[in-house]
Chains A and B, each alone.
Chain A
Amino acid sequence: MSTLFRFSIPTMKCGGCARKIRAALEPLAGVHDIAIDISGRVVELRIDGGDSTPVMAALAQAGYPAETVSADTALEAEPDHCSIDDPPQQIESGGDGMRLAITGATCASCVRTIETALSSVPGVERASMNLADHSAHVLGAASPQDLVAAVEAVGYGASVVEDDNSLEEERERAEQQLYRRLIRDTWLALGLGAPLMAWMVFGGSMMVHAGGASQLVWLLIGMLTLAVLVFAGGRFFVGAWKAAVHHNANMDTLIAIGTGTAWVYSMVSVLAPSLLPEQARHVYFEASAMIIGFINLGLALELRARGRASQAIKRLLGLRATTARRVADDGSEADIDIAQVTTGMRLRVRPGEKIAVDGVVESGSTLVDESMLTGEPVPVSKQAGDAVSAGTINQQGSLVYRATRVGKDTVLAQIIALVKKAQGSRPPIGRLADRVSAVFVPVVMLVAIGAALVWFNIGPEPRASYAMVALTTVLIIACPCALGLATPMSVMVGVGKAAESGILIRQGEALQTASELTTIILDKTGTITEGKPSVTKVFGYAGWSEDDVLALAAALENASEHPLAFAVMEAARERGLNAAMVSDFVAENGKGVQARYHDNLVRIGNLRWLRDEGVDADAGSADARSITDQAGTPLYLALDKALIGVIGVRDQIKPDAHAAVARMHARGLKVVMITGDVRGTAEAIGREAGIDEVIAEVLPADKASHVRALRDRGERVAMVGDGINDAPALAEADVGFAIGTGTDVAIESAGITLMRGSLHGVVDAIAVSSATVRNIRQNLVGAFLYNVLGIPVAAGLLYPLTGLMFSPVIAGLAMSLSSVTVVSNANRLRLFRANPDGEAV
Chain B
Amino acid sequence: MTTIWVNAAGLAAMMMIVWWFWLWKPRNAVDTKDGVIDIRVANGTYTPALIDSPAGKPLTLRVLREDASPCAEYLIIEGLGISETLPINRLYTVKLPALAAGEYRFHCQMNMYQGILRVH
Interface, chain A (partner B; CB < 8 A) = 14-15, 18-19, 22, 32-39, 46, 75-76, 78-84, 86, 88, 90-97, 139, 167, 170-171, 174-175, 177-178, 235, 238-240, 242-252, 299, 302-303, 306, 420-421, 423-426, 434, 437-439, 441-442, 445-446, 449-450, 452-453, 456-457, 480-481, 483-485, 488, 507
Contact = CB atoms under 8 A, between A and B. Distances in A.
A88 B95 CA distance: 11
Interface residues of B, number: 66
A203 to B, nearest CB: 31
A35 B91 CA distance: 8
Given A37-B90, A442-B21, 14 more contacts: A15-B42, A76-B34, A139-B93, A167-B90, A170-B88, A171-B88, A175-B68, A178-B68, A239-B43, A250-B113, A424-B85, A426-B83, A442-B18, A449-B14
A84 B84 CA distance: 20
A35 B33 CA distance: 13
Contact of A424 (B64, B83, B92): B83
B98 to A, nearest CB: 6
B92 to A, nearest CB: 6
Contacts of A46: 33
Interface in B3-56: 3, 6-7, 10-11, 13-14, 17-18, 20-22, 24, 26, 33-36, 38, 40, 42-47, 49, 56
A424 B76 contact: yes
Given A82-B58, A178-B69, A446 B95 contact: no
B55 to A, nearest CB: 9
A96 B3 contact: no
Contacts of B107: 438
Contacts of A426: 76, 83
A139 to B, nearest CB: 7
Contacts of A250: 44, 112-113
Closest 4 CB pairs of A and B: A484-B110, A82-B97, A424-B83, A88-B81
Contact of A242 (B6, B45, B56, B100): B45
Contacts of B93: 92-97, 139
Nearest to B11: A453
11 contacts: A36-B91, A93-B95, A96-B90, A96-B93, A167-B90, A250-B112, A299-B69, A452-B10, A456-B3, A456-B6, A480-B111
Contacts of A18: 64, 66, 89
B105 to A, nearest CB: 8
A539 to B, nearest CB: 56
Contacts of B68: 174-175, 177-178
Contact of B84 (A93, A139, A247): A93
B74 interface: yes
B58 A235 contact: no
A303 B70 contact: yes
Contacts of B60: 79
Nearest to B66: A15
Contacts of A19: 42, 66
Given A139-B93, A424-B84, A238 B43 contact: yes
B118 interface: no
B6 A37 contact: no
B54 to A, nearest CB: 13
Nearest to B65: A15
B7 A457 contact: yes
Nearest to B58: A79
Contacts of B82: 88, 91, 93
A174 B68 CA distance: 6
B46 to A, nearest CB: 8
Contacts of A421: 83
Contacts of A446: 14, 17-18
A39 B81 CA distance: 28
Nearest to B91: A96
B5 to A, nearest CB: 11
A488 B43 contact: no
Contact of A247 (B24, B35, B64): B24
A33 B33 contact: yes
Nearest to A239: B44
B64 A36 contact: yes
Given A175-B70, A243-B44, A170 B58 contact: no
B94 A91 contact: yes
A88 B76 CA distance: 12
A790 B113 CA distance: 24
Given A178-B69, A249-B21, A242 B44 contact: yes
A311 to B, nearest CB: 14
A449 B110 contact: no
Contacts of B111: 434, 437-438, 480, 484
A456 B7 contact: yes
Contacts of A14: 89
Contacts of B91: 35-37, 96
Contacts of A456: 3, 6-7, 10
Contacts of B96: 91
B58 A306 contact: no
B56 to A, nearest CB: 7
A252 B83 CA distance: 24
Contact of B95 (A38, A91, A240): A91
B26 A83 contact: no
Nearest to A173: B88
A424 B109 contact: yes
Contacts of A248: 21, 44-45, 49, 114
Contacts of A302: 70
B14 A84 contact: no
Contact of B17 (A88, A246, A438, A445): A445
